[in-house]
């Protein structure tokens, strides 16, 4: 990734990552309410685990010492830095919610979208 991470204080990092995790929880709740997908979610602090009907998982967790957000799925692990208002993959620059949507769709076997807001 060529873009330089936006400097964040620890408090700013904590607030931004908490907002991301809360947003994911809200979207997953809506999937359940609207019968889109049955995904179990469990959050412990800065770690959010999504379990799909086939028992596969996506894990999103914060990495406070690095000021990164990490996503792990069957297809691999991804690290994101905050750049100009977005969480971008440190390798290919893909925005976090786009990557999460791709991985959730892969795990679900159907198109799922997670938007930032």
Per-residue pLDDT of the chain (117 residues; tens, 9 = 90+): 557 888 999 999 999 999 999 999 999 999 999 888 999 999 999 999 999 999 999 999 999 999 999 999 999 999 999 999 999 999 999 999 999 999 999 999 999 999 988
H/E run at residue 109: none
Q: Which fold has domain 10-108?
A: Metal Transport, Frataxin; Chain A (3.30.920)
Rg of the chain on CA atoms, in Å: 14
Given 3-state DSSP classes, what are the helix, strand and coil percentages for the chain, each rounded to the nearest 5?
35, 30, 35
* pTM attached to this predicted model: 0.94
CA distances from 66 to 27, 33, 61, 69, 81 (A): 26, 35, 12, 9, 9
């Amino acid at each position: 990734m060529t873009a330089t991470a936006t400097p964040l204080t620890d408090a700013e990092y904590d607030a931004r990552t908490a907002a991301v995790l809360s947003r994911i929880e809200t979207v997953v709740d809506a999937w359940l309410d609207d019968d889109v997908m049955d995904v179990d979610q469990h959050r412990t602090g800065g770690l959010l685990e999504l379990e799909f009907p086939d028992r596969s998982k996506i894990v999103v967790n914060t990495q406070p010492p690095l000021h990164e957000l990490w996503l792990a799925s069957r297809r691999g692990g991804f690290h994101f830095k905050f750049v100009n208002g977005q969480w971008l993959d440190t390798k290919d620059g893909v925005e976090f919610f786009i990557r999460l949507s791709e991985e959730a769709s892969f795990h679900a076997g159907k198109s799922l979208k997670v938007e930032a807001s």
